[in-house]
């Protein structure tokens, strides 16, 4: 081994040890700075992704058109393409109107945000949103849609933030079951084989008698999530040796998230 390699190893080891010894706060600062630095790329990439998706949808419609009417293919293609474009606009208008209504009638002060990217790693379920400290966001703020709870913010930089989804095993939410006194902790699964995984509601009492279809809401215990947010609906329920467990279908389709709200306080 030559001298330059030894020097390189020493420098590498020193830098690595320095990084390994940093605490959570510094880690968050490094991440926030990093996300801030790459935010233009993320936002541009997100825009491109949406355009590509919309082009793909348009091509599918053309295929359907060819099936429907071969004789008037040319004319139909043009008319249906226009229709498709208008439908996209209509969908967008409806979505935004829906979101605006929810924001107005909500009890919370909400900051609307758009999903910029999702699930960039294998082991953690996160999404990145296009809002940050400049919009009043901070770490550990609940994120939701008009349908229910989505997760909580973790790393927050000036104009971009990371949201840990409720489908992640680390996102624990104190919850209670509608119409009962049962309380438990909702967590995600460590490894999910599908884009819309189920949630676990653990630590229910052994005497619990729950049925599929019952709704689960946040209980407000723990301080991060306010009470009364819809978390999910019970799919299955089983009594175990020491407690009971229920499997929930999340209230929000996490695989199709487009817009979310961050709760920054009460009105």
Partner 1 sequence: MIFFLLLVLLVFVAQLVEIFLPPLAWMFNAHIYIVPVIVFYGAMALPFPLMLALAFFAGFLWDAMTAQVLDGHVEISFGWSILLYAVLAAIMHGLKPLFNRGRWEVHCVLSGVCTALILLAQYSMISFRRGSLIFNREVWWQIGGPGLLAMLMAPLIFWLLHYLSRLTNNPYLPQEEGFDEYAPR
Residues forming the site for partner 1 (CB under 8 A): 1, 4-5, 7-9, 12, 15-16, 19-20, 22-24, 27-28, 30-31, 34-35, 38, 41-42, 45-46, 48-49, 117, 119-124, 128, 154-155, 164, 169-170, 190-195
Q: How far is the CB of 191 from partner 1 (least distance, A)?
A: 5
Q: Are 202 and 245 in contact (CB under 8 A)?
A: yes
Q: How far is the CB of 94 from partner 1 (least distance, A)?
A: 25
Q: Which residues are CB-contacts of 199 (< 8 A; sequence separation ≥ 6)?
A: 166, 167, 186, 187, 188, 189, 231, 232, 247, 248, 249, 250
- CB closer to partner 1, 137 vs 177: 137
Joined tokens for residue 167: 């489908």
Q: How far is the CB of 83 from partner 1 (least distance, A)?
A: 28
Q: Which residues are CB-contacts of 167 (< 8 A; sequence separation ≥ 6)?
A: 125, 188, 189, 192, 197, 199, 250, 254
- CB closer to partner 1, 23 vs 74: 23
Beta bridge partners of 126: 164
Beta bridge partners of 220: none
- CB closer to partner 1, 28 vs 109: 28
Q: How far is the CB of 38 from partner 1 (least distance, A)?
A: 7
For 63, other C-beta atoms within 10 Å of its C-beta total: 9
Q: How far is the CB of 200 from partner 1 (least distance, A)?
A: 12
Q: Are 198 and 247 in contact (CB under 8 A)?
A: yes
Q: How far is the CB of 211 from partner 1 (least distance, A)?
A: 28
Cα 51 to Cα 46, 48, 82, 168, distances in angstroms: 9, 5, 16, 29
- CB closer to partner 1, 193 vs 241: 193
- CB closer to partner 1, 99 vs 164: 164
- CB closer to partner 1, 27 vs 236: 27
């Amino acid at each position: 081994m030559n001298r330059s390699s030894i020097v390189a190893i020493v420098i590498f080891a020193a830098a690595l040890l320095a990084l390994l010894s940093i605490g959570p706060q510094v880690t968050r600062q490094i991440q926030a700075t990093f996300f801030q630095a790459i935010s233009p790329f993320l936002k541009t990439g997100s825009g491109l992704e949406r355009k590509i998706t919309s082009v793909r949808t348009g091509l599918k419609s053309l295929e359907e058109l060819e099936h429907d009417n071969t004789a008037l293919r040319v004319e139909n293609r043009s008319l249906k393409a226009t229709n498709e474009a208008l439908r996209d606009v209509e969908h967008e208008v409806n979505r935004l109107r829906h979101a605006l209504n929810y924001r107005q009638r909500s009890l919370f002060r909400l900051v609307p945000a758009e999903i910029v990217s999702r699930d960039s790693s294998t082991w953690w379920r996160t999404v990145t949103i296009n809002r940050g400290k400049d919009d009043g966001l901070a770490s550990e703020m609940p994120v939701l849609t008009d349908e229910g709870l989505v997760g909580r913010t973790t790393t927050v930089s000036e104009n971009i933030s990371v949201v840990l989804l409720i489908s992640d095993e680390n996102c624990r939410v104190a919850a209670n079951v509608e119409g009962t006194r049962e309380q438990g902790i909702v967590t995600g699964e460590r490894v999910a084989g599908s884009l819309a995984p189920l949630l676990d509601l653990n630590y229910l009492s052994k005497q619990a008698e729950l049925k599929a279809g019952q709704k689960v809401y946040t209980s407000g215990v723990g301080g991060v999530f306010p009470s009364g947010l819809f978390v999910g609906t019970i799919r299955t329920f089983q009594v175990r040796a020491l407690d009971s467990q229920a499997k929930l279908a999340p209230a929000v389709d996490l695989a199709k998230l487009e817009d979310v709200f961050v709760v920054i306080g009460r009105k």
